Amino acid sequence: MEFDYFRYNEGSPANNNRQGLLASGWRPFHREFDWEFLWQLMCNDTRELTQKSFNLASSIAETLGRNNYAWWANLLNIASENTRYEVEKFWNYITPDPLTPDYRYKDVLSTDTPIVQFVSRSSIPIDYVLNRLQEITVMRVLQLLGCPDIITQYYLERDFYFPVDKFVSWERLDVVNTVYAYWSKDDIWLQIDPYERGRRHYTLMAKNLSPLINKATYDLAIMLSGYQSRVGKVHSLFSIRSFPTDIQSFTDVVQQAVLNQHQLAILVHGKPGTGKTAWTQAVAKEILVPLGYVIFILDHDAIANFVPPTYLERICIIINEADNLAQDRASEVAQYNNKTEHILGLLDGTLYQSVIDDSGIHMQQRLVVLMTCNTTERLDPAMLRKGRIDLIYEFTHLFV
């Protein structure tokens, strides 16, 4: 029976995982003795330390003092599993635990990977694209951080560590339980939790993640438009200096306003073919991207469900054909949709700043909204009210 039990135990999934950890480069973590830590125990936890010391001494004395065995058998029994367990338990008490994250860190950014896309014909996958953006951000931050100082994993009541000199990538790291990694220079922790079918949950924790997030999201653009939604880079066919002189002068005013204001809304209007959309793309690429703005291009469906991610410090929202979205609510057509309220909420900040979640990262955001329309006559009067639209300009020249 004993032989059969050990055969079964050796082939168990838990034991196979442990063997897999060792085979993939993980090594058992050996606690190091620390005089300062022991002194703290002696000063602050004297009673518990004394009790555990007596318990260990009593266990060893009982093993050595058995009368029904020879002295040499008792001596050998010190190396038995029970005695080793008591010694290891005492050693774990008098030595420092492996480093673990400080969950009081205020900046937390997490993602599941790989992101699973759920698409229905009745709605565009906004959540998928925003989750994909967050996944890209986390992975880029990890790429910027490089190799950590420590990588640990706790499994089957044992601590393991991965030699950092053999670290290649997080995707190739064998994860069977929660993994922790730490970068002392940046004071940043990473926690990896495994899911089924090879999926994982990555969580970054730090006192201040914003500098790394700003670097990780540089030059990113997100298009939320039906089944064409994607994350990439903003593209512009024309440079700012290829536009007519009056538009270039207006662009200079816009650039100065971007530098001076935390929130800025710009509306350009004119007949089709005057280069309004091309101008917004040129401004985004040549002015806003170099300043660290993440560009969001929203279509009619996306505007109704979009909330700016709180972990981004600088956001630009481009809304084309705003006259078809923010229509005068007094008109009959506008009664059948609520997109006007959503755009007004974005411009005011009331839509997404009225309730703040304590978890995660909340940047002091700078927001630029670029809108185009063919005519201002169909716009709701509340759109043009002072304090919502900062700059308005009419494009009059046909642009090729």
pLDDT digits (tens, 9 = 90+) for 334-346: 444 556 666 766 7
Bridge-partner residues for 180, per DSSP? 152, 191
Residue 330 has pLDDT above 60, yes or no: no
Cβ–Cβ contacts within 10 Å for residue 176, how many? 19
Mean pLDDT of 156-181: 91
pLDDT band at 180 (very low <50, low <70, confident <90, very high): very high
pLDDT tens per residue, range 242-252? 999 999 999 99
- Whole-number percent of the chain with pLDDT over 70: 80
Q: Is the pLDDT of residue 367 over 60?
A: yes
Burial 212-228 (b: 16+ CB within 10 A, else e): bbeebbeebbbbbbeee
Reading the block at residue 110, the tokens are 């997490």
pLDDT of residue 385 exceeding 80: no
- Rounded Cα distance between 307 and 342, Å, is 10
Cis peptide bond N-terminal to 194, omega within 30: no
Q: What is the mean pLDDT of residues 18-42?
A: 81
Q: Give residue 350's pLDDT.
A: 58
Tokens, residue 307: 């909330």
pLDDT category at 10 given cuts 50, 70, 90 is very low
Domain boundaries, the chain: 2-94, 107-214, 220-395
Specify the residue for token string 């910027």.
Answer: 144
State the distance between the two ends of the chain, measured CA to CA, in whole angstroms.
Answer: 87
Residue 293 gets which letter from DSSP? P
Contact 359, 334 (CB under 8 A): no
**Residue pair 220/233 in contact by the 8 Å Cβ criterion:** yes
Domain 220-395 has CATH 3.40.50.740: no
Cα–Cα distance measured from residue 68 to residue 384, given in angstroms and rounded to the nearest whole number: 97
Higher-confidence position of 315 and 68: 315
Q: Mean pLDDT check: name the lowest of 52-61, 156-165, 204-213, 388-397.
A: 52-61
User: How high is the pLDDT of residue 30?
Assistant: 77
Residue 8 has pLDDT above 50, yes or no: no
Assess whether pLDDT exceeds 90 at residue 225. no
Spatial separation of the C-alpha atoms in residues 75 and 55, rounded to whole Å: 18
Residue of 62 and 250 predicted with greater confidence? 250
Q: Do the bridges between strand 188-194 and strand 200-206 make them parallel or antiparallel, or are there none, so unpaired?
A: antiparallel
At 364 the pLDDT is 78
Residue 4: band (very low, low, confident or very high) from pLDDT cuts 50, 70, 90: very low
For the ranges 20-24, 151-155, 210-214, which has the lowest average pLDDT?
20-24
Judged by phi (left if over 0) then psi (alpha if -120 to 50, else beta), residue 275 lies in left
Residue 354 has pLDDT above 70, yes or no: no
Q: Are 34 and 99 in contact (CB under 8 A)?
A: no
pLDDT of amino acid 289:
96
Residue range 107-140, pLDDT digits in tens: 899 999 988 766 555 555 788 888 999 999 999 9
Q: What is the mean pLDDT of residues 22-35?
A: 82
Q: For residue 132, what is the enclosing H or E element?
A: helix 126-145
Angle formed by the axes of helices 81-94 and 35-44, to 10°?
A: 90
228 has pLDDT over 50: yes
Q: What is the pLDDT of residue 28?
A: 85
